[in-house]
Structure 1
Amino acid sequence: MAFEDLLPLVGHKGRFQILQALSLAIALIFLGTHFLIENITAFVPEHRCWTPLLDNTSALLNVSGNLNFSSLLTFSIPLDSNGKLEKCRRFFWPQGQLLPPNVTGQNLSQLETEPCVDGWTYDQSTITSSIVTEWDLVCDSWTLKSLSQSLFLAGILMGYLIGGYLSDRFGRKRTLSPSFFTLAVSGTGVAFAPSFQVYCCCRFLLGFSISGVLLGGGPLIMEWSMTQHRHLVAIMITMSISLGHLFLGFLTYGIKDWRKLQLVVSVPLFAFFLITWWLPESARWLIVHNKCDDALKVLRQVAKINGVKEQTLTVEVLSSTMEKELDAGQVHYTMLDLFHFPILRTRILCLSLASFTTGMLFYGLSLDLQNLGHNIQMLQVLLGASSFLSRFGALLIMNCLGRRTIVVTFFLLAGLFILPSAFLPQGILRVVFAMLTINCAMVSSSCNGVYYHELLPTVVRGMSIGFIVTIDRIGAVLAPLMNILKQYIRAMPQIIFAIIAITASLVVFLFLPETRNKPMPDIIQDLECG
């Protein structure tokens, strides 16, 4: 398009593009930790009821010295149907009768039990403190953990609904800077939350801010890139988020207190808020919105940073070069307008299904790591490392195979890999299939990061991507609900995930074009008129 004829005049792969990419990439590493941090901060350790026989020092003095800890545990906690210790009930002993002499192991099952009226005792060998242990989110309150996860994802969903409009209406930078500030404040606020209710409110605001950062920063950096470099930029963004997952895993080996961990990944965001002030607005966005004077200043600023002596850029040159885009930019589109144009509507609906699929697959499995094994730190590191490598692999193959081929192939593979994990017991093979599924979703997601921008025009790109990723968040919110179906049919969630992945593969193959080495559209007419 016309803007890509202007960009080489100020330098299209110079110092400015490198600094812009690095500043955003490092920030996204810290941002990436917040997506999966509740694998650690909401970790559910082994637990049992607090009992006076085991946990009250003065009561222990009155117990016969012939009884060891194992015996006392037998007299305190009943067994469930699987022969394991009950997590939510204990034997009832009347006050002053801590251990009647006539009770034996044979008649324990006849004793009365009661809920954990005095609280719980938690195993602190893996994680010393989490929101689960601090606010006792177990037994009758176990659903509150899922509530906090859903509220975070709902915040992201709401952010995408609003942030896309703000990004298109007021600019990429004006969306990015306030979002970084709100992200830093809310992330730090989570660490100091005095109650679970305040914690949930801060997590919702955190999710909302993340959307603003992605919807402001993503288009900003993509719109300063040439066609041949866009896949590098998109993969860099997603790889940075995967590095955040990996970084989180390593942090948990040294920081086992949830408040300290939350602070470590939140406070540095204040520095990135300050860094965003030097980033110039997208010149492409400024021109499309008839702000040629501002666009000219920005282009000259970029030329200076890149060390390019441009002498041909004037307001008249910008106006004449992008006359069609300027005329189209005078029209302000609404969300309903996105579905008025046939080709744009088809692309948005198909991309929405692809986005829904990646959201459901990724969050359905990655927020359920604890069910794959008890070593949550190792699983988190494994997830981060494998997703980083899969995104790097996507970078290598994207220009060779094309966007559509990758999305179609890896959705299909994800659907095939996820089915065996439904029928395997907890162990290494189940972990392997789960990780393969997650990483297939990651490769598709990485390619979609380029695909969205190449399929959608500049004038509605932010709004369109905001809508599409909102559907992604709906898939993410529904994913934990799918896992509840395990109570009825163990394989049901995996069967649903597989059907959705295979369906998305077919839809993308049938209805979306290939965009490799093709210019980004700036106006809707570029699509509808061919």
Structure 2
Amino acid sequence: MAFEDLLPLVGHKGRFQILQALSLAVALIFLGTHFLIENITAFVPEHRCWTPLLDNTSALLNVSGNLNFSSLLKFSIPLDSNGKLEKCCRFFWPQGQPLLANVTGQNLSQLEMEPCVDGWVYDQSTITSSIVTEWDLVCDSWTLTSLSQSLFLAGILMGYLIGGYLSDRFGRKRTLSPSFFTLAVSSTGVAFAPSFQVYCCCRFLLGFSISGVLLGGGSLIMEWSTTQHRHLVAIMLSMSISLGHLFLGFLTYGIKDWRKLQLVVSVPLFAFFLITWWLPESPRWLIVHNKYNDALKVLRKVSKINGVKEQSVTAEALRSTMGKEVDAAPSSYTILDLVRFPILCKRTLCVSFKRFSIGMLFYGLSLDLQNLGHNIQMLQVILGASNFLSRFGTLFIMNCLGRRTIVVASFLLPGLFILSSTFLPQGILHAVLAMLAINCIVVCISCDNVYSVELLPTVVRNKCMGLSLTIDRLGAMLAPMINMLKHNIPAMPQIIFAIMAITSSLIVFFFLPETKNKPMPDTIQDLECGHSREEARPRDEGETLVKINQSEDCSRRLIENKTTVV
């Protein structure tokens, strides 16, 4: 009996699965806001130097009365090569020198200039307060906003790297609950950060905690799902993150102070931390770690919640679920051990590369919304709504097309969209192509959340996923830095993003198999011996002997391989 056959005995789509999925889905709405919240909290408004002639009441008394605001602005702030006000310098007027009526005849090009030594004046019509306006992250300090984004993504990277090991070593639930608590504390701490340094530290810890929630919670729910419902669960969870993006956009219309906004999306996380305590451990994880008694208790508890008779699940049924190879094969592997298994190694490398591209493309495009237009609230709402619809549409195309087909197409299309936008000026068409590219990547993320899980065996799934998602965060960390290249070569970021997208589509097409309607592999033997649980069921008695012999030979080779590693 395969685990896929065991789940219906305790209720594979009952009350428990619904409550479990809903509890995490609602939490992901608030968690999803933190991924793109710096589009709002790190918004860079229009700004100019603070000048005594315009912003100092006492200095205005010495100004000739026949000069209006535009005239004062003309003699206070120089113009750049595009005829716009300079953001980082002003004309120098010696202290106490009055602006006389005949000053209009002076040659402005001969006036001395100086940097914004007295600070800046910001346009507060869109966002009244952001970390940029509070800590003056403009001009010489403009790169610090990209630094804070990269540190947040570095926290997610470290979380995936460590969380993947902890989740496979100690269990899905034991990773999920502490991660939710740390997430609530660190996100609330961001709202009260007294300095930019403390803000960056809290954002790093916030990213670290998000990884534990996604790894622990995602694996927990996916391992409670059958093959027929797995993609529905994965898409529903990813849609919750898109709802978080949409929710963030609507919040910004009413909350324009960054600290209040941060607090509103952080405090509810404490409630979700309490909710996670009722979630039971994954029986798949318990079984592959030979904890049959604990798995039996969990399954009996779930069967009661679902209203299924308790006696339908026995210890013998659990032990026969995984077959002989679970008892024979080692239950603990390290990352270095994985290179000893060719098929697993190839899949892990391919999954890691495409996740690297996903991280770079999604954050490189979605964290650069301000360059698509000045109405950041509307752009955030459009992004959230379109992402939600894209993930919802993935539900239907995943039933018709294979996982690999969708991933290949959703890499190739954004590569072409980005490449086309490179040759277009800033405008509506450029913004439309950027939005289309982002939504293709969102479709790729939604499908790949299922695809990657189905490619990897249960016994090392979170280790491999933790490694691939760590590399995903490396791509995400590089995205803000790549966007900085546009200050030197405007088209360079788009060219890099397009090359990565097209290359990833080719790698997936040539090196990864299709997994649609196939059960998840539970052990490395399922991968290396070239069979799944379904394929292992022979049609006749003669075929039975062949299958058994092949399975025993392959198991022996894998055990010898593991012994060599040790």
Shorter-chain TM-score tier: over 0.9
Indicate the larger mover: 53-62 or 67-76.
Answer: 53-62
Aligned partners of 2:28 and 2:237 also within 8 Å: yes
**C-alpha distance in structure 1 between counterparts of 2:28 and 2:328, whole Å:** 33
Q: Could you say which structure has the larger radius of gyration? A: 2
Deviation, structure 1 residue 490: 2.1
Shift of 1:100: 4.3
Number of residue pairs the alignment of both structures matches? 530
Corresponding residue for 2:86? 86
Shift of 1:316: 3.2
Aligned to 1:75: 75
- Counterpart of 1:30 in structure 2 is 30
Q: Percent identity?
A: 84
User: 1:328, 1:21 → 2: CA distance?
Assistant: 34
User: Residue in 1 aligned with 2:520?
Assistant: 520
Query: What is the CA–CA distance in structure 1 between the aligned matches of 2:341 and 2:334, rounded to whole Å?
Result: 12
Q: Which runs of 5+ in 2 are unaligned?
A: 531-566
Amino acid in the other structure paired with 1:51: T
**Which residue of structure 2 lines up, in the alignment, with residue 346 of structure 1?**
346
* Matching residue of 2:440: 440
Tell me, what secondary structure is at the counterpart of 2:121? strand
- Looking at structure 2, the residues matched to 219 and 245 of structure 1 have their Cα atoms a distance apart, in angstroms, of 23
Judge conservation of contact 1:40–1:252 (CA < 8 Å) in 2. yes
**Given that residues 362 and 441 in structure 2 are in contact (C-alpha distance below 8 angstroms), is that contact kept between their aligned partners in structure 1?**
yes
2:285 aligned partner: 285
Q: Given residue 8 of structure 1, which amino acid in structure 2 is its aligned partner?
A: P
Letter in 2 for 1:145: T
- CA apart distance, 1:304: 0.6
Gap change, CA 1:515 and 1:9, over 3 Å in 2: same
Alignment of 1:259-408 (within 5 A): 259-324=259-324, 326-327=326-327, 330-408=330-408
Aligned to 1:410: 410
**Matches for 1:33-72 after TM superposition, within 5 Å:** 33-72=33-72
Q: 29-38 or 303-312: which moved more? A: 303-312
1:451 counterpart = 2:451? yes
- Deviations for 1:180-222, whole angstroms, at most 9, x for unmatched residues? 0000000000000000000000000000000000000010000
Report deviation, 1:172.
Answer: 0.4
Is the deviation greater in 52-61 or in 177-186?
A: 52-61
> Which amino acid letter does the alignment assign opposite residue 133 of structure 1?
T
Using a 3 Å threshold, how does the CA distance of structure 1 residues 262 and 200 change in structure 2: closer, same or farther?
Answer: same
The 5 A counterparts of 1:60-139 are 60-104=60-104, 107-139=107-139
Q: Which amino acid aligns with 1:496?
A: I
Aligned match of 2:14: 14
Contact 1:9/1:310 (CA < 8 Å) preserved in 2?
no
Residue identity matched to 1:310: E
Q: Could you tell me whether the CA contact under 8 Å between 2:146 and 2:481 is conserved in 1?
A: no
In the other structure, the counterpart of 1:238 is 238
Task: Provide, for residues 116-167 of structure 1, a one-character-per-residue CA deviation record: whole Å limited to 9, x for no partner.
Answer: 1111100000000000000000011111111100100000011110000000
Conserved 8 A contact 1:351-1:468: yes
**Are 1:145 and 2:148 an aligned pair?**
no
> Under a length normalisation based on structure 1, what TM-score does the superposition of the two structures give?
0.98
AA of the residue aligned to 2:188 = T
Residue 486 of structure 2 is aligned to residue 486 of structure 1: yes
- TM-align CA RMSD: 1.2
Which amino acid letter does the alignment assign opposite residue 528 of structure 2?
A: E
| Deviation (angstroms), 1:82 | 1.4
Distance 1:443 1:119, change over 3 A: same
- DSSP-derived class of the 1:103 partner: helix
Structure 1 segments of 4+ aligned residues over 6 angstroms from their partners: none
Query: Does the 8 Å contact 2:326/2:523 carry over to 1?
Result: no
Between the aligned partners of 1:194 and 1:394, the Cα distance in structure 2 is 43
Quote the residue 1:157 is aligned against. 157
Helix, strand or coil for the counterpart of 1:121?
strand
**TM-score, normalization: structure 2?**
0.92
Structure 1 residue 518: Cα displacement: 0.2
Q: Conserved in 2, the CA contact under 8 Å of 1:53 and 1:98?
A: no
Tell me how far apart the structure 1 counterparts of residues 491 and 79 of structure 2 sit (CA, whole Å). Answer: 27
Letter in 1 for 2:65: G
Change (3 A) 1:79 1:270: same
- The one-letter amino acid paired with 2:299 is L
Higher alpha-carbon deviation: 418-427 or 254-263? 418-427
CA distance in 1: counterparts of 2:456 and 2:320, whole angstroms: 23
In structure 2, the partner of 1:212 is 212
What amino acid maps onto 1:338 in structure 2? L
Which is worse superposed, 331-340 or 500-509? Answer: 331-340
Question: Amino acid of the residue matched to residue 39 of structure 1?
Answer: N
Contact 2:292 2:318 in 1 (8 A): yes
Alignment deviations for residues 96-125 of structure 1 (CA, whole Å, 9 cap, x no partner): 114245433651111111111111100000
Separation in 2, partners of 1:76, 1:54: 8
Deviations 1:365-419 (A, max 9, x none): 1000000100000000011111111111111110210100101111111111111
Unaligned runs of 5+ in 1: none
Q: Secondary structure at the match of 1:48?
A: strand
